[in-house]
Amino acid sequence: MTQSRSVLRVAVLAPLRGLFDYLPPLECSPADYAVGMRVRVPFGRSTRVGVVLRCGARPSVAEERLKPVLEVLDDGRPLPADLLDLVEWAADYYHHPLGDAFATALPAALRAGRRRAEPGGYRWRLTCAGSAVDASAFARAPRQAALLRLLNGHLQGMASDAPVFPRGALATLRRLEAKGWVERRPDDPYVTAEPAQDPPLPLNPAQRCAVAAVLGSEGFGAFLLEGVTGSGKTEVYLHLVSDALSRGRQALVLLPEIGLTHQTVERFRKRLGVRVAVLHSALAERERLRAWCAARDGDAQVVIGTRSAVFVPMPRPGIFIVDEEHDLSFKQQDGFRYSGRDLAVMRARQAGVPVVLGSATPSLESLHNALRGRYQRLHLPERAGGARHPTVRVLDVRRQTLDSGLSQTLIEEIAHALSRGEQVLLFLNRRGYAPALLCHECGWVAACARCDALLTVHRRERRLRCHHCAAEQPLPAQCPACGGLDLQAAGQGTERLEQTLQERFPGRRVLRIDRDTTRRKHAFRDLLDQVHTGDADILVGTQMLAKGHHFPMVTLVGIVDADRGLFSADFRALERMAQLILQVAGRAGRAEKRGQVLIQTHHPEHPLLSPLITEGYAHFAEAALRERTQAGLPPDTSLALIRAEASGSELPRLFLEEAAAVGREMLPQGLHLFGPVPAPMERRAGRYRAQLLVQAARRSDLQRFLQAWVPRLDLVEKARRVRWSLDVDPMDLM
DNA sequence: AGCACGCCGACT
DNA sequence: GTCGGCGTGCTC
């Protein structure tokens, strides 16, 4: 018998390129397995979970090497086709091993491969018919009668693993279920529907126009919804989602990590009155799986989640929404480096439904796509409720005396606002007391032993910390180099700013909001509560303050240091600074009081800062796009970055040199390789890092090149001795 | 990624 | 004499 048997081609959940062939499970007929099924397979000396991608393939290795699949998981229930398509497309686009892409895209519970990975938790409760049954008439079925009585006492239902259920209750409950007297519901507060409480708000003309444009799109269509803070983007989303629901479709809403709050979810639930599944990183695995299953089964009509929720299967998608689409947290920064935003667009295309990207400060990528006609632009110009835009003023701090980074003008304006009983917000994107500690005697500076970085002074905790690795140490009392006692903290951090303001404005309550003051659970919420009850006069904070939260009593916003974004090694720093400035500015002056934004800079004449101030984000973006085009940077070109790291500085360079040599041999016209060069911070957490950049005028050319090049990188001699990764469409070149 | 095999240094 | 360092190869 030499004829070749047909085999199953499996993506094994391991970080390996290539697929693996297996014989069908023993004693199984072809009806028992199909594409999309999760299987357990022997792999090397252990076993792994894999996903069947093809049935009936001809084996790619000698038959005697083939082993049979050990078991079919999920009772033979395959992963939905939309999920398979999306993950395969994404693994292809990002040139990432397919098995690892599945491992990232699936909830961890499905990665692990327990025999049945359906969520165990659900509730039993009486149906209408069941509550009408007279249990005492069931003398011949005492167990059923007992359970009916039990559930009658808990009309909201009983968790299936509740200890009050007697042993063997499951069989009895199933019998009752078959009679239609009891039912099981997912045991998840976020999946339970409540009647809609909030009525829809009336739309203004711009909102109506936006809604109409999206509803009028036939099949796939991508829309860029531009609206300043408070212009009512969420209201547009709600109308679109509501329309999808009315057609029996589901909706997927992606939010940045920091934007997905309990309030956001509640707003959707209360308005729509449907089952909303929530997916974010803080979820327990069981809850995550439950939400995933609820979406897959169509039980959850709306799915709200962060980046990874883009992989949640839905049988009837009707609309995709990505809010704050410019936010960097949509791009995964390690492992499978996908963009949740870009995949949402791809997914909408595959599903043939519209996708809406919303932002007050759209990414240059999305604006570029809009200018090319790939996305349709929708504007929401006005602030709902008629609040006026804040005035923006640049404070030239050259030759000014600064007190902990604050100019005299800014201090005076703070005093004015406070005397009017208003709140002030100061933005400084650097936490800690000071970014450096130096010896006034000998010039020694406190540097991290494992990174090319200085240690940050944390004065209250009396510690020096590295913000790039876990290193920390007590604040020294004297210079370790010369023994000098005059150690000085140099530069400004939020902690120092807080202290200075406290001294400057005694009796005023200064609140600092950064990663250090919000580490405790609920600390962020508590601080926000204080702000809202008026229990704070001055807010000092990092970018945490910029995202999503409204401070109606703030009338003055100060950007303490705009310069760092103007001249950074990272080509996106300026765009990010502009977005941050506008996001922070959006916190000021709601309702009746007009806000004021003051931006401190040493470069008031910066060619991109002034259009931002005087003419707004759209003009800034146009100018920034022109500059990117001239520099050959995205979105005008497409980039891919290979990063390599090792414990010595030689290996990453050698590997990348070899990789570049291989690449140059096959490099088509219009593509360029730059590097290898050391990463901007070469040493980080004791590892040396280098990188190699690929630039292409056209995305498709880049893709074709990567397709040929990346598989050959595994064969490069040094490849095994470094840790390397490929980043397609990198968000930073760090 | 794991895991084993394999060939060279410091220890009971 | 062995325990163990991590370089190399393989996983259908």
What pLDDT is recorded for position A614? 81
Give the residue-averaged pLDDT of A465-476.
Answer: 91
Q: Which one-letter amino acid corresponds to residue A702?
A: L
The whole-number average pLDDT for the span A669-683 is: 92
Cα A159 from chain centre: 32
Q: Where are the beta strands (DSSP E) in A459-527?
A: 463-465, 472-474, 487-490, 510-513
Q: Distance, angstroms, CA A662 to C1' C11?
A: 26
Distance of alpha carbon A647 from alpha carbon A642, whole angstroms: 17
Measure CA to C1' and name the residue nearest C7.
A721
DSSP secondary structure string, A278-337?
EE-TTS-HHHHHHHHHHHHTT--SEEEESGGGGG---SSEEEEEEETTT-GGGB--SSS-
Mean pLDDT score across all residues of chain A: 88
* CA A551, chain centre distance (Å): 24
Q: Which residue is nearest to nucleotide B4 (CA to C1')?
A: A45
Edge-to-edge order in the sheet of strand A354-359: A276-279, A302-305, A250-254, A317-323, A354-359, A221-227, A376-380
The separation, in Å, between residue A646 CA and nucleotide B8 C1' comes to 24
Band of residue A413 on the pLDDT scale cut at 50, 70, 90: very high
The distance (Å) linking the CA of A149 with the C1' of B12 is: 72
Q: What is the C-alpha separation between A459 and A538, in angstroms, rounded? A: 20
Distance CA(A119)–CA(A186), nearest Å, equals 9
Instruction: For residue A312, give both structure tokens.
Output: 């949640």
DSSP letters, A562-600, are -HHHHS-SSTTHHHHHHHHHHHHHTTS--TTSPPEEEEE
Given a cut of 70, whether residue A483 has pLDDT beyond it is yes
Around Cβ A519, how many Cβ atoms within 10 Å? 9
pLDDT tens-digit profile of A261-295?
788 888 898 899 888 999 988 777 888 898 999 99
Strand B contacts in A 14-43 (CB under 7 A): 14-16
The 10s digit of each residue's pLDDT in A215-268 is: 998 899 999 999 887 788 999 999 999 999 999 999 999 999 877 778 888 889
Tell me the three state secondary structure of residue A689.
strand
- Token pair belonging to A692: 């190699």
**What confidence tens digit (pLDDT) does each residue in A540-566 have?**
999 888 776 778 888 899 999 988 878
CA of residue A719 to C1' of nucleotide C7, angstroms: 13
By C1' distance from the Cα of A22, the closest nucleotide is: C12
Q: How far apart are CA A542 and CA A428, in angstroms?
A: 5
In the numeric block, which tokens belong to residue A327?
């936010």
Q: Confirm whether any atom of chain B, the nucleic acid strand, is less than 7 Å from CB of A44.
A: yes
Distance A115 CA to B2 C1' (A): 22
In this prediction, residue A627 carries a pLDDT of 92
pLDDT digits (tens, 9 = 90+) for A435-455: 999 999 999 999 998 899 999
pLDDT over 60 (residue A464): yes
Tokens of A55: 């049935």
- Average pLDDT of the segment spanning A604-619: 85
Q: Kindly report the pTM of this predicted structure.
A: 0.88
Note whether A40 and A47 are within 8 A (CB). yes
- Inter-residue contact A646 to A721 (CB < 8 Å): yes
SS3 of A155, please? coil
Helix (H) or strand (E) holding A8: strand A7-12
Find tokens 């992989």 and name the residue: A311
**A275 Cα distance to chain centroid:** 23
Q: Closest Cα to residue A150, out of A140, A165, A138? A: A165
Return d(Cα A154, Cα A126) in angstroms, integer. 9
Q: Does the nearest atom of strand B lie within 7 Å of A334's Cβ?
A: no
Specify the range with the lowest mean pLDDT, choosing from A123-132, A403-412, A431-440.
A123-132
Q: Is the CB of A45 under 7 A from strand B?
A: yes
Percent of chain A whose pLDDT exceeds 70:
94
How is residue A150 written in tokens?
Answer: 């039990």
By DSSP bridging, strand A687-696 and strand A391-396 are unpaired
Q: What percent of chain A has pLDDT over 90?
A: 54
Residue A595: CA count within 13 A, CB half-sphere: 28
According to DSSP, the residues that pair with A221 across neighbouring strands are: A354
Task: Check the CA dihedral A347-A350-A351-A353 and report its sign.
Answer: positive
What count of other Cβ atoms lies within 10 Å of the Cβ of residue A302? 25
Residue A576 CA to residue A612 CA, distance in Å, equals 12
How distant is C1' of C3 from CA of A109, in Å?
Answer: 39
Give A493 or A257, the one with higher predicted confidence.
A493
> Which one-letter amino acid corresponds to residue A301?
Q
| CA–C1' nearest nucleotide, residue A16 | B1
Per the structure block, which two tokens stand in for A499?
């202290």
pLDDT tops 80 at residue A484:
yes
pLDDT band for A3, please (50, 70, 90 cuts): very low
* AA identity, residue A660: A
pLDDT higher than threshold 60 for residue A188? no
- DSSP 8-class letter at A639: E
- Identify any residues that bridge with A426 across adjacent strands, giving them in sequence order: A540, A558
Is the CB of A46 within 7 Å of strand B? Answer: yes
Residues in Cβ contact with A410 at an 8 Å cutoff, skipping those fewer than 6 apart: A395, A558, A560, A598, A600
Alpha-carbon distance of A158 to A506, in angstroms, equals 56
Nucleotide nearest to A59 (CA to C1'): C12
Burial of A204 (0-12, 13-18, 19+ CB in 10 A): middle
Neighbours of A386 (CB within 10 A): 8
Q: Which two tokens stand for residue A62?
A: 């000698």
SS3 of A1, please?
A: coil
Q: Is the distance between the Cβ of A162 and the closest atom of strand B smaller than 7 Å? A: no
Is 70 exceeded by the pLDDT of residue A120? no
**Measuring CA to CA, which residue among A279, A202, A291, A189 is closest to residue A238?**
A202
Distance A409 CA to C2 C1' (A): 77
Altogether, the residues listed in chain A come to a count of 734
Q: What is the pLDDT of residue A118?
A: 64
- Closest by CA to A354, choosing from A251, A267, A264, A268, is A251
- The DSSP letter of residue A23 is B
